Chains A and B, each alone.
Chain A
């Protein structure tokens, strides 16, 4: 059986400041080395100043993954030399003196499959390296420390995945979970990264590092399984090693000789006392945690009778579920869920579109009311929504400007029905024989009114006419 385990690194992008200094946590908009200070650059004499909220958010992640949460957490130094590491050690967490990582054993469900979490730890992200020069001879390395010290949560799983598909599903669930907790925006470049370890039946564990995206992660796992199976079938032993993902050639390459030298000399970080997170604090954090995705989904189904599939889509995306929470009431909930999932999602399906769009939860509320009170048809509502997203104008204004209001004046509809009946004698005859086909005539009336005729009224009037 194939066994896959993951180490996922997730930046706490929604924090204001870095893990140990007040520089900006979201480093993305800065010119190189302009989001740095003596602490994150590791100048002599500087000391780490731990960010309280980073601990709270990391602890919430641990709780959401059903992990045990110790009452005291500790930080350690992982020592190795690399130019992106200003102090040449990384402040991280470990469980060598008891359970002192922010999260201990836990699990999360992927469908029916239980994925066990080994631990959750809080650590600092290194800076970024940029390679310059074409040949190996004239190559130099440029370093940008803007990212150095960004709060990073590492989630380590047991090797419980059996195939890349489960991995993908898990990562989707995790990504939604992090977003729902309000700790991270996984869509930001580099906000979520993962390493994997893969072993097949009868073989040793192989670690794959250096994987740039989740898309490549799946490819790397696929490649690795195929490579190992091929070795196995030819009776070549699969050695335990670390391999690097080659992004260009889309293969994994042995990095063994390099890794062998590494001896991280882990020991306690004396500049940070152990942090007490007592039971009261843990309860407070638990209370402050946003409602979980599954709890939201259950509530949507049981309280408002929203279909399970719709509730699922709605609850798992924080952007849409927040919108739903802000705009719905007992009466319009179903309608709002419907507008969001059938119309809005198509209109603002990318981050850019969301950011540019001008609609508010108030718009949704008004739109649902207008539909429910028969002011406009669903069809017109869709057109109105398009305008709202584009312009942010008031619904009443849009209805007036685009003439989207329902035609519910009986005499007016009757006039149009008469026109249709005279133009479509064949269809009228057919409808008399087979009442099902009357919808064709309703459609014609709608066409003539640009979808604004009250559909129920139109049907009733038509039925009366051609009885």
Chain B
């Protein structure tokens, strides 16, 4: 039995009785034990995973109703709460935090008999795009261990790419699902804002972020989406998707569709290998019967500045609750005055989080709000208007997911502004609430390149069809792991 199958193939094999959940999950745990010392995708492993699988096998044998996952091993980014287990956000601040509830996505997957093999690494509180800012050490790219896996859902992408699970859930605030998916050669999907409940996702910048699946195929992505999407009374920002089946008709193709290539995302600073991959992708789309032309999205130039202004502001507020009074680490209050106590307690935040806190105090403060924060909100507004205009004419927009190839661990960690530019192609989907997906497309010098496709709000289903169409033209080499 090989671990190197897709999630849907797994379901098929278990249903046909060719493999058992226990076999597959045991082998998955074995794989984690073998490779994760080097990759560091996981922060915790679920010690009950094999037992859980055995239970599901029993259920299958007894002929009871079994959920659609049939014991499928799934990994979860460690900023999504699983009841009675640690949720650390890769931060020393929450090192001991045990969530008293399941996130909505977790309850839904449990109902479908998924097995959570472990919690995956991330940049502390999801602030970063390399997973280097994890308080517990970086994850490594399975394609080349010297390279970053992208982030912030780096652990999730690595675990899917290195066969440590069949699929994963990450969160995407400015590209945090798509960026590591692109860097690790897997599929990463950021849905329309509100399609997936955020209840139980520890907020970083709540007005723009979404949970998103990471999987090895587009079909697997649609399969996971089917189980976790839809209206949730626990999240007032969720939208009704009328129980759409995202797998149904996923092979419909894109013949006759109109695709816009976003000019601002293939301009200055783009790596030549990424540029050539983009050109190849355009040819493939044309070969599939789509019409492609270059379009302009003027506000993209300002999008990263707007993105960081908004996220720092929201993060400054969302992370204010970590004052160590109600939960946290052992640090008695005796002898301290309130302000000095919490200022000391909050030193447990890592340097990147601290920097963004400072930024988050600065840009919305009464003295500077007009200069930074208000303008950022207005850029967001105008960018949304511009992209809405484009979607009147085009079915999809495309761009490379990241304008550069994966880089080495430590290469950009000290240059925040250089890191900003890595985000330039992904933040637009978050600022505008549009769905976007990264599809693995080429390998250049042994490093993956992903192509990103955008669709209009609530067109997640046709977006997955377009992604599937592109995927069908690609055959990537095996990950060297």
**A residues lining the B interface (CB < 8 Å):** 38, 41-50, 77, 79, 81, 83, 86-89, 140-141, 143, 263-268, 270-273
Contact = CB atoms under 8 A, between A and B. Distances in A.
A81 B237 contact: no
Given A44-B203, A81-B338, A81-B342, 18 more contacts: A42-B326, A43-B100, A43-B327, A45-B80, A45-B87, A45-B201, A46-B199, A47-B234, A49-B234, A79-B320, A81-B323, A88-B320, A265-B313, A265-B365, A267-B364, A270-B208, A270-B237, A273-B237
B333 A140 contact: yes
B374 to A, nearest CB: 9
B334 interface: yes
A44 B99 CA distance: 8
A38 B326 contact: no
A86 to B, nearest CB: 7
A408 B236 CA distance: 71
Nearest to A265: B364
Contact of B334 (A140, A267, A270): A140
A267 B312 CA distance: 12
A143 B320 contact: no
Interface in B360-378: 361, 364-367, 369, 373
B316 interface: yes
A265 B100 contact: no
A311 to B, nearest CB: 45
Contacts of B48: none
B200 interface: yes
A263 B236 CA distance: 28
A179 B316 CA distance: 40
B338 A141 contact: yes
A256 B169 CA distance: 49
Contact of A45 (B99, B316, B373): B99
Contacts, number: 99
Nearest to A141: B338
Contacts of A87: 320-321
B266 interface: no
Nearest to A42: B321
Nearest to A48: B236
B81 interface: yes
B97 interface: yes
A453 B273 CA distance: 112
B323 A267 contact: no
B260 to A, nearest CB: 28
A267 B87 contact: no
Interface in B271-304: none
Nearest to A271: B206
Interface in B140-154: none
Contact of A38 (B89, B101, B313): B101
- 8 smallest beta-carbon distances between A and B, as pairs: A270-B207, A88-B320, A44-B202, A265-B364, A45-B200, A45-B81, A270-B206, A87-B321
A264 B365 CA distance: 8
Contacts of B321: 42, 44, 86-88
A70 to B, nearest CB: 19
A45 B202 contact: yes
26 contacts: A38-B100, A44-B97, A45-B87, A45-B99, A47-B198, A49-B234, A50-B236, A79-B316, A79-B317, A79-B320, A81-B320, A81-B323, A81-B342, A83-B323, A83-B325, A86-B326, A87-B320, A140-B333, A263-B365, A265-B313, A265-B364, A265-B366, A267-B314, A270-B206, A270-B208, A273-B237
Contacts of A141: 338
B320 A45 contact: no
Contacts of A45: 80-81, 87, 99, 101, 103, 199-203
A143 B325 contact: yes
Nearest to B233: A49
Contacts of A81: 320, 323, 338-339, 342
A65 B174 CA distance: 44
Interface string B84-100: 00010100001001011
B326 A268 contact: no
Contacts of A272: 236-237
Contacts of A89: 317, 320
Contact of B236 (A43, A79, A86, A273): A273
Contacts of A86: 321, 326
Nearest to A50: B236
A47 B81 CA distance: 13
Contacts of B369: 265
Contacts of A263: 365-367
B207 A268 contact: yes
A47 B201 CA distance: 9
A44 B316 contact: no
A136 to B, nearest CB: 9
B51 interface: no
A45 B86 CA distance: 13
Q: Which residue of B80, B320, B339 has the most chain A CB atoms within 10 A of its CB atom? A: B320
Contacts of A88: 320-321, 323
Q: Which residue of B94, B100, B233, B317 has the most chain A CB atoms within 10 A of its CB atom? A: B317
A44 B206 contact: no
Contacts of B208: 270
Contacts of B325: 83, 143
B235 interface: yes
B357 to A, nearest CB: 12
A273 B199 CA distance: 15
Contacts of A273: 236-237
Contacts of A267: 313-314, 317, 364, 373
Contacts of B338: 81, 83, 141
A49 to B, nearest CB: 6
Interface string B189-213: 0000000001111110111100000
Contacts of B366: 263-265
Given A38-B101, A44-B81, A86-B321, A49 B365 contact: no
B63 to A, nearest CB: 37
A27 B134 CA distance: 41
A79 B323 CA distance: 14
Contacts of B342: 81
Contacts of B237: 270-273
A49 B320 contact: no
Contacts of A50: 236
Contacts of A46: 199
Interface in B214-258: 233-237
Given A45-B202, A88-B323, A271 B316 contact: no
Nearest to A41: B326
A124 B369 CA distance: 24
A41 B339 CA distance: 20
Q: Which residue of B94, B101, B205, B339 has the most chain A CB atoms within 10 A of its CB atom? A: B101
A267 B201 CA distance: 21
A266 B373 CA distance: 11
Interface in B293-349: 313-314, 316-317, 320-321, 323, 325-327, 333-334, 338-339, 342
B317 A47 contact: no
Contacts of A266: 364
Given A49-B234, A83-B325, A270 B87 contact: no
A81 B323 CA distance: 9
A77 B317 CA distance: 8
A260 to B, nearest CB: 12
